[in-house]
Amino acid sequence: MKRINILTPKSLDAVGRIIAITRRAKVSVVNMQIAADTTIYRIHMDVNGDPDEVNWLVAKLDKLPEVLTIEEIHINR
Amino acid sequence: MALYDALYGQEIEYVLFRHEQGAMHAAEGYARVSGRPAVVAVTSGPGATNVVTGLTDAYMDSVPLVAITGQVPTGIFGRDGFQETDILGVVTPITKFVYQVKKPSEATPAFKTAYEISIMGRPGPTLIDLPRDIQLAGATDNEERIVVNREKFLPPPLDEAKIRLAAKYLMEARRPVILVGGGLLWSGATAEVLELSKMLNAPIVSTLPGKAAVPHDYPLYMGPAGMHGRAEADAALANADVILAVGTRFSDRTWGRFKELNESVKSGRVRLIHIDIDKSEIGKNVKPTVGIVGDAKEALRKLIDIIHVESISNTKYISWLLNIRKMYEDAMSRIAESTKTFHPWKVLKVLRNAAPRNTVTVTGVGSHQMWAEIAWDVYEPGTFITSAGLGTMGFGIPAALGAKLADPARPVLCIDGDGSFQMTMNNLALVRDYNLPIVVAIFDNRALQLVKQWQIYLYQRRIIATEFSHRPDFLKIAEAYEIDGVKPESYAELERLVGRALRNNEPLIVDLTIDSESDIVLPWVKPGDWLTSAILPEGMNVKLEYEED
């Protein structure tokens, strides 16, 4: 299982763009949380899938200019 | 309306197209000739949804442009007002950047951001949605900051170790091949790729967009590979032991299928080096032996600096490829001579003779486009414009107008099909409205010929919904738009008429009668087949698998 942590400006348009890409990835999103700060959203996604597919998703998400930072970490469940 | 009213009397040139899709393709043509994004401004609702095809086309082919859409006032969002459309929701997956302006102070910085991002790194389309109340508000002194991460679009420093490994593989290669995509053109790396090809004696193969990146009179250019690529290009790619792929996204149209390549790379039989400015392309369809993220020009220059090759003993291999080329040209020449009506392959040879070397050539989408992929020679980088990734019928006429707008002094030839032409021919009004003298050659087979070809080969000749009636009369269409229309009866007449129009910068519409039954585009790698399975024209008996002594 991998966790993808994303920081975006506080805009649902940005969240919509992130979802639009994620729904085309060949991964299973087992958990998703969005926490709002004053000016930003912190998005956490736990995904299962082939490592290459998770890499595809992270690389595609990182193309969005509104994705300010993105990190992928391995988690055990 | 408020936005346009603000433009009244300003020194911003506007060009009024007859349909928003036309304006979008024109912006693509403009960008590919000038290297700069054009701006397309449309109304809300249907105006906005009509830009969707053009946005997708630009997104697939990495073309920079900025679209501005009108929108209902922010106060009535979500109330289904007249011409309200959630255009952000619609274009989310097909734009590099999209922003809905909700405060007047955001308008200017949002536009600046959209313009900058469209051209940074790998180019792409962007969109700004401007609600009516924002358009009516006065400009503000303070500019709101649009929070985005621009730095990610700057090419990262090259990975020295990977460059050295790539250079080592290229120096060890027996049959190296360089595959170039559209990214090479945007990077301006034509000189570098030619230099590297000469050093390695490596054939250059291209994708369809990459066709515009290399002059075709360079002896080691084998042409585009893939579904309707050239046989020698398919053979070069399929038999290479090291492939250097630059600025390409590994499209199924270039490779047919990835199974053979993936297996060869995995087993080490083929070493694949992939250079791309977009890191998401590395390993997307094929996992390379070496993946290098970076600007093509910079990476190729670095390779050239490192590589030192005494001699490459691939002369026999190159001769084999060049012989395939000769066999194809001979076979097509015989077929064209035995065809009673105009044959597309021969027409392209004649048009090429008629057109000055610097002519910008734009195509529509269909069988004529595939013939152009195979048979049209590009001499100057950037002078072949086509809709590759999306394959958008109707692309030709407006993109040719956009190309002419970008460089009025250059001849512009649009190679179109009758099906593609009819989708956006309304934009011909701009030829006289704005003095944009383009020459349009319509390959008139009265069919959606490429689909018909699939029906013939893959669906046991069950022809349905691909054949047109004799309507409309294209000469009368030409007359309606005050453009000379001709229907030549010989190749000599065709060459004379088109040559004269292009040299004299005069518009012309040429209706070329082509027999649908003899308009079968070959070579053809059927969908899902490997490159060496290409169906070749009659009389061309050659295997595309190389046998070493």
CATH number at residue B48: 3.40.50.970
> What pLDDT does A77 receive?
61
B298 in the same domain as B203: yes
Q: Among the three residues B127, B153, B179, which one is the final residue of a domain in this structure?
A: B153
> What pLDDT does B187 receive?
96
The answer to whether the pTM exceeds 0.90 is yes
Tokens coding B452:
């018909």
Residue range B438-482, pLDDT digits in tens: 999 999 999 999 999 999 999 999 999 999 999 999 999 999 999
**Single-letter code of the amino acid located at B12:** I
Spell out which residues of chain A touch residue B153, defining contact as CB-CB under 8 Å.
65
- What is the complex's ipTM, to 2 decimals? 0.96
> What pLDDT does B1 receive?
83
B171 in the same domain as B144: no
DSSP state of B535: B
Q: Do B147 and A17 touch (CB under 8 A)?
A: no
Residue range A17-65, pLDDT digits in tens: 999 999 999 999 999 999 999 999 999 999 999 999 999 999 999 999 9
B93 at A interface, C-beta within 8 A: yes
Residue range B287-322, pLDDT digits in tens: 999 999 999 999 999 999 999 987 777 899 999 999
Please state the rounded mean pLDDT for residues B412-432: 98
Tokens coding B223:
């042409």
DSSP state of B79: S
Q: Is the pLDDT of residue B245 over 90?
A: yes
User: What percent of chain B is predicted at pLDDT more than 90?
Assistant: 96
Q: Among the three residues B117, B132, B153, which one is the final residue of a domain in this structure?
A: B153
Tokens coding B155:
């090419």
Spell out which residues of chain B touch residue A37, defining contact as CB-CB under 8 Å.
none
Q: Do A62 and B97 touch (CB under 8 A)?
A: no
In a domain, B543, yes or no: no
Tell me the C-alpha to C-alpha distance, in Å, between residue B492 and each of B109, B356, B484, B488.
56, 17, 18, 9
Question: Could you write out the DSSP letters of every residue in B147-184?
Answer: ----GGGSPPPP-HHHHHHHHHHHHH-SSEEEEE-HHH
B451 in the same domain as B360: yes
> What pLDDT does B140 receive?
87
Tokens coding B92:
């989310």
Residue range B188-239, pLDDT digits in tens: 999 999 999 999 999 999 999 999 999 999 999 999 999 999 999 999 999 9
Q: Is the pLDDT of residue B75 over 70?
A: yes
How far is it, in rounded angstroms, from Cα B466 to Cα B81? 39
Q: Which residues does residue A31 pair with via DSSP β-bridges, in sequence order?
A: A46
Count of residues in chain A = 77
| Residue B191: CATH number of its domain | 3.40.50.1220
Q: Is the pLDDT of residue B130 over 90?
A: yes
Q: Look at domain A2-74 and name its CATH class.
A: alpha beta
Contact residues for B235 (Cβ-Cβ < 8 A; gap 6+) = B320, B321, B324, B531, B532, B544, B545, B546
Window 104-163 of B: residues touching A by CB (8 A cutoff) are 113, 117, 147-150, 152-153
> In chain B, how many domains are there?
3
Residue range B496-532, pLDDT digits in tens: 999 999 999 999 999 999 999 989 999 999 999 999 9
B499 in the same domain as B357: yes
Q: Is the pLDDT of residue A76 over 80?
A: no
Residue B67: give the domain boundaries.
2-153
Work out the number of other CB atoms within 10 angstroms of the CB of residue A50: 10
How close B234 comes to chain A (CA, Å)?
28
**A–B: how many Cβ contacts below 8 A?**
53
B59 at A interface, C-beta within 8 A: no
Q: Do A65 and B100 touch (CB under 8 A)?
A: no
Closest residue to A56, CB basis, from B96, B278, B284? B284
Mean pLDDT, chain B, integer: 96
